[in-house]
Amino acid sequence: MTDTLILLCHPDFAASRANKALAEAAAALPGVAVAHLDALYPAGRIDTEAEVARLLAARRLVLQFPVQWYATPPLLKAWQDAVLTRMFYINPQTEGARIAGRPVLVAATAGNRPEAYTATGANLFPLPELLRPLQATAHRCGLAWQEPFLFFGARAATSEAIAAAATAYAGRLRGLAAA
Ligand SMILES: Cc1cc2nc3c(=O)[nH]c(=O)nc-3n(C[C@H](O)[C@H](O)[C@H](O)COP(=O)(O)O)c2cc1C
Range of the domain at 96: 2-178
User: Who's near 119: CB < 8 A, 6+ residues apart?
Assistant: 125
Would you say 93 and 27 are in contact if contact means Cβ atoms under 8 Å apart? Answer: no
What is the predicted pLDDT for the residue at 2?
76
179 residues of the chain, pLDDT tens digit each = 779 999 999 999 999 999 999 999 999 999 999 999 999 999 999 999 999 999 999 999 999 999 999 999 999 999 999 999 999 999 999 999 999 999 999 999 999 999 999 999 999 999 999 999 999 999 999 999 999 999 999 999 999 999 999 999 999 999 999 98
| Pairing of β 149-151 and β 103-109 | parallel
For every residue of 11-36, DSSP letters joined together read TTGGG-SHHHHHHHHHHTSTTEEEEE
Whose Cα sits closest to atom 8 in ligand 1? 69
Report whether residue 68 contacts ligand 1, using a CB cutoff of 6 Å. yes
Beta-ladder partners of 33: 5
Report whether residue 70 contacts ligand 1, using a CB cutoff of 6 Å. yes
For a mutational test of ligand 1's pocket, the pick from 38, 64, 69, 115, i.e. the residue with the most ligand atoms closer than 8 A to its C-beta, is 69
Q: How far apart are the first and last CA of the chain?
A: 18
Whose Cα sits closest to atom 4 in ligand 1? 68
Report whether residue 154 contacts ligand 1, using a CB cutoff of 6 Å. yes
Average pLDDT across the chain, whole number: 97
Report whether residue 109 contacts ligand 1, using a CB cutoff of 6 Å. yes
Each residue's pLDDT tens digit, 33-82: 999 999 999 999 999 999 999 999 999 999 999 999 999 999 999 999 99
What's the number of domains the chain is made of?
Answer: 1
CATH code at 119? 3.40.50.360
| Residue of 105, 109, 111, 130 lying closest to 119 (CA atoms) | 130
Whose Cα sits closest to atom 31 in ligand 1? 68
33: CA distance to ligand 1 center in Å? 24
